[in-house]
Structure 1
Amino acid sequence: MGPPKPSITISQQAFDEMVKENIDDLGMDPTEALQDAIETLTLQGVDLSGIVTCKEDPVIQSLDRLKQLNSNWTDRIGKDGDEVMDLLDKLTELCSAEGSGNAAIGTRNGGIELVCSVCSKLRGGSDQGLVSGLKTLASLLHDVQSGDTFQRSGGPKMVMAILSDISQSSNILNGGFSVVAAAATGNEIVKESFMELKIDELMLQILRTHGEGSIHSLYDAIRILLTPDDNRVVASQVYGYARRFAKTGIAEVLVESLKEGLSSPSLVSATVTLKAVAVNDEICRSIAESGGVDAVLRCIDDSGEQGNQTVARVCCSLLSKLAGSDTNKSAIVQKGGMDRLIKLAARFSDDPSVLQEVMSIISILSLRSPDNAARAIEAGAGDLAIQAMQSFPGAHQMQRNACLMIRNLVARSPENRTLLLHNEIWGLMTTTNRIFTMFKQSTFFQELLI
């Protein structure tokens, strides 16, 4: 399946001329002319996002007034700034409205360049004014093209200049990292710019200075910087960025958040971020050496006792990543990991999203390891698969993970095949039509029956 074909676009000038022609040549009134142009272009597949279709568009009005203030900037405007803040807050509200297209209108009409300039001038003035400016900028950054505009406008350097003053309030730092996250989403060029400006070192310094949890958007920014989500590039550099983050020591700082357990306000964010950093065996082992495996297992235990499904899912997902290291795999099993995972599954037996994560870990732990596979069967992994597959026939990802887990449990363990066949696992799997279709061409069933 190839990438979607790009939409047909039109300039604001061409749209306005079409409306004018409807009025001058066809005798339509302005309202009718505007509606006809919108309907005609929509039927032709033209992308009208960012096109102003209203003479008194509130986004345009706010931008025009903000441009006036920016052009005639004085110390009074910077210090008092009530009107500037009101305009910025209004733009944020307008551009954040889902499905409104206001963010596209703002970016098409110079919003990003303007707000970057305003934010630069607000530095050293009112904290609230700068917070408002950063929020507006984040709301305007809605796609790859807006990220490119941000890049061309010197946005990364401007934001880094604000963030580099680590004595800034947590609200300003949160606003700044929200801009980093929005600008870097889907944009490899912006990611590269921030990494060239050594944002990884700055992030570690801020985490250590402000403490884990106070700058929540920082975690989102790290995760997005390490996500290969730009379809325009053949090979992303984010793998190298993750290694750089690990070398700064940020993994150890994130592990400290995990050690605080469910009392940490940043537990979920830190867990997801740590998974993004753990890109190779060396980093996974270093996380374990810092106490990461112990911390994750404790969080898994606590999430089961407190019924916290979100923590259970993200911690299981992280443990799956850490289990990719053979050294960690052995440590997890030695620390009673199999029993603790089956216990968690029992507590969340009504939640297939947790069960599929548990089965994913057991599958990894059992891969090419007959001893671990035997330990999993003893802990109750076979019963888990049968009960879950019977209970949730429509949970396709969970069904798939169950099949993969069973495959790894039996691949090198003839005794496990016998046990599972006695439990009628074959009949259960062949009645799960979608999953059976996926596996019937593989060697899985042959291995199961040997």
Structure 2
Amino acid sequence: MTSSRKGLQISQEAFDAVVKENMEDFGMDLQEALQDAIHTFKLQGADLKGIITDGSKDENPTNAPVVEIIKELQNASSGAGAITIGHVQNTLHKFHSLCKEGGINTISIAGRHGGVEASISLVRALDDRSVMNLVLEVLSVLTEDTENMGKFKGNGGLQLLMSVLKDLNKDNNTIRHACTLLSSAAKGDEVSKEQFMDLNAAEVLPKLIKECMNDGNLVIFLCNAFRALVTSDDSRVVASKAFMNARTFAENGMVEALLLASSQLQGSSSAITSICMALKSLAVNENICKSIAEQKGIDFILQVMAESIKICDKSVAKSACSFLSQLAGSDDNKEFIVMSGGLERLISITSYFSDDPSVLQEAFTVVTALSLRSPQNALKAVQVGALDIVAEAMECHPAAGTMQRQACLLLRNFAVRSSEIRSAVLEKGLESLIRQAKRMHASCKDAASAALRDLGFNDYND
């Protein structure tokens, strides 16, 4: 059985001491001394990540430049010597290149030798936008290592990012790099999410989206940062505050900001997709869903669905349907969606993207939500062709388990309150397709059984 225990942490000094002992006491040459030290530490279960193990610390061909560059940055931040901004820029460029080219071990070495701390100190010491952007770019690479991310957070990195985003003199590159770091720092870390919220992220991000709403790329980065703060993805906590964070963002104008940006970015598929995903993350309760509808959010999403067909973009179609399914959880919104032609739009999408089970699944999820506790909506869906679409999808994509399950849930909602629809379902031959889904996919068992039960079959559990 493989041990899950974290490897023994050693210092560069400890490794170097063993190498030196091998050379001085046992007469080994450098390469023999290095290989023996590596072998010895690995036998002890030591973690050698971030340790210079090729002798370059002394001979200078490989990883030593990273250490030397960090020393230069430390000198620059402390004001030692006459170092120009141009020299600092060149040094940061070299640092970034070495880390990118050297991969995770070089990044870890940089972290072990103070690269994160030196970078943050440099920003504080030098009030220069170009240096700021380069440091953020370097930190984005350094924090790919988990230990380095911890150092970034522990040395005021989160406060640095928020001060950058609040700065009136920031430029587009600054926003982009800061949002990238914010997303990485908040991902899977409830404490960091809370710290960002305490630093007024809910006020800053909506404001920035409004300021940048003509730039689709920046809006994407800002939406990613927002979603990182309202996503419950830290398995270490029992109760996440992500839901509360979304409410706080809504109270600070995020609905308005996202919909304003959407009106400016209709030609950018990737930006619209990001906005749809952000709006879905925001719509966490009835009041916010109603607020989105009141600000013409449903009109927006129906327009996006139509556009996805025109430009033949499956990702736009999926994100639009996913967002609409969230809005359809509100009973008031259900009626407005149906009255606005939402069912017809969904049938158009399923017909056009009938070859993609993932699109069909998202569209079926919306129809399922619209028909929940609403026999009139279920009947309307049948009238516009939903049963034909479901039958074709289940027959053409038997291996798509998630889509098959969603189709069963949809049919169950259709059948549960209407004998007229139950007859229509059976006439389309959907019983055999439901039973097939149940046989083929364990994930479909409960949904298929419920559909068969509400269609009137006594052997629904067989």
Query: TM-score under structure 2 normalisation?
Result: 0.86
In 2, Cα distance between equivalents of 1:33 and 1:233: 46
For residue 449 of structure 1, the aligned residue among 451, 456, 459 is 456
User: Where does 1:78-93 land on structure 2 (aligned, <5 Å)?
Assistant: 80-93=84-97
- The 1:347–1:29 alpha-carbon spacing in structure 2 relative to 1, beyond 3 Å, is farther
Instruction: State the match for 2:304 in structure 1.
Output: 299
Instruction: State the match for 2:233 in structure 1.
Output: 229
For residue 200 of structure 1, the aligned residue among 183, 199, 202 is 202
Q: Tell whether the 8 Å contact from 1:12 to 1:52 is kept in structure 2 after alignment.
A: no
In 2, Cα distance between equivalents of 1:328 and 1:98: 53
Q: Tell whether the 8 Å contact from 1:257 to 1:266 is kept in structure 2 after alignment.
A: no
- The 1:62–1:375 alpha-carbon spacing in structure 2 relative to 1, beyond 3 Å, is same
Q: Is 1:439 matched up with 2:431?
A: no
Instruction: State the match for 2:262 in structure 1.
Output: 258
The code of the aligned residue for 1:179 comes to L
The code of the aligned residue for 2:238 comes to V
The code of the aligned residue for 2:434 comes to M
Q: CA offsets per residue over residues 206-253 of structure 1, 9 Å max, x none? A: 223333535242221111111122222221112111111000111111
In 2, Cα distance between equivalents of 1:30 and 1:202: 55
In 2, Cα distance between equivalents of 1:146 and 1:423: 59
Instruction: State the match for 1:378 in structure 2.
Output: 383
The code of the aligned residue for 1:165 comes to D
In 1, Cα distance between equivalents of 2:358 and 2:42: 40
Instruction: State the match for 1:334 in structure 2.
Output: 339
In 1, Cα distance between equivalents of 2:94 and 2:433: 57
Q: CA offsets per residue over residues 77-128 of structure 1, 9 Å max, x none? A: 99943333233334434545696444333333322212111122333x2x33
In 1, Cα distance between equivalents of 2:296 and 2:414: 28
RMSD: 3.1
Q: Tell whether the 8 Å contact from 1:417 to 1:448 is kept in structure 2 after alignment.
A: yes
In 2, Cα distance between equivalents of 1:32 and 1:382: 74
In 2, Cα distance between equivalents of 1:212 and 1:312: 22
Q: Is 1:50 matched up with 2:69?
A: no
In 2, Cα distance between equivalents of 1:319 and 1:231: 28
The alpha-carbon deviation at position 326 of structure 1 amounts to 1.2
The code of the aligned residue for 1:54 comes to D
- The 1:411–1:55 alpha-carbon spacing in structure 2 relative to 1, beyond 3 Å, is farther
In 2, Cα distance between equivalents of 1:23 and 1:255: 68
- The 1:371–1:92 alpha-carbon spacing in structure 2 relative to 1, beyond 3 Å, is farther
The alpha-carbon deviation at position 40 of structure 1 amounts to 7.6
- The 1:343–1:107 alpha-carbon spacing in structure 2 relative to 1, beyond 3 Å, is same
- The 1:119–1:38 alpha-carbon spacing in structure 2 relative to 1, beyond 3 Å, is same
User: Where does 1:127-206 land on structure 2 (aligned, <5 Å)?
Assistant: 127-142=129-144, 145-206=147-208
Q: CA offsets per residue over residues 43-89 of structure 1, 9 Å max, x none? A: 88765443433333756522432333432448899994333323333
- The 1:170–1:26 alpha-carbon spacing in structure 2 relative to 1, beyond 3 Å, is same
Instruction: State the match for 1:347 in structure 2.
Output: 352
Instruction: State the match for 1:356 in structure 2.
Output: 361
Q: CA offsets per residue over residues 320-344 of structure 1, 9 Å max, x none? A: 1111111111111111111110101
Q: Tell whether the 8 Å contact from 2:210 to 2:261 is kept in structure 1 after alignment.
A: no
Larger Rg: 2
The code of the aligned residue for 2:176 comes to N
Q: Tell whether the 8 Å contact from 1:212 to 1:266 is kept in structure 2 after alignment.
A: no
For residue 291 of structure 2, the aligned residue among 270, 286, 301 is 286
Q: Tell whether the 8 Å contact from 1:191 to 1:225 is kept in structure 2 after alignment.
A: yes
Q: Tell whether the 8 Å contact from 1:258 to 1:296 is kept in structure 2 after alignment.
A: no
In 1, Cα distance between equivalents of 2:103 and 2:397: 34
In 2, Cα distance between equivalents of 1:415 and 1:104: 66
- The 1:320–1:96 alpha-carbon spacing in structure 2 relative to 1, beyond 3 Å, is farther
Query: TM-score under structure 1 normalisation?
Result: 0.88
Q: Tell whether the 8 Å contact from 1:370 to 1:412 is kept in structure 2 after alignment.
A: yes
For residue 323 of structure 1, the aligned residue among 324, 328, 334 is 328
The code of the aligned residue for 1:149 comes to K
The alpha-carbon deviation at position 200 of structure 1 amounts to 1.7
- The 1:326–1:136 alpha-carbon spacing in structure 2 relative to 1, beyond 3 Å, is same
In 2, Cα distance between equivalents of 1:46 and 1:423: 65
Q: Tell whether the 8 Å contact from 2:77 to 2:121 is kept in structure 1 after alignment.
A: no
Q: Is 1:116 matched up with 2:123?
A: no
Q: CA offsets per residue over residues 130-187 of structure 1, 9 Å max, x none? A: 2111111122223654443222201122222222222321111222222211221222
Q: Secondary structure at the match of 2:169?
A: coil
Q: CA offsets per residue over residues 339-376 of structure 1, 9 Å max, x none? A: 11010111111222211111111111111221111111
- % identical aligned pairs: 36
The code of the aligned residue for 1:8 comes to G
The alpha-carbon deviation at position 285 of structure 1 amounts to 0.7
The alpha-carbon deviation at position 15 of structure 1 amounts to 5.1
Instruction: State the match for 1:10 in structure 2.
Output: 9
After TM superposition, the structure 1 stretch with the greater mean CA deviation from structure 2, 377-386 or 10-19, is 10-19
Q: CA offsets per residue over residues 275-318 of structure 1, 9 Å max, x none? A: 11111111111011000010000010111121111211111111
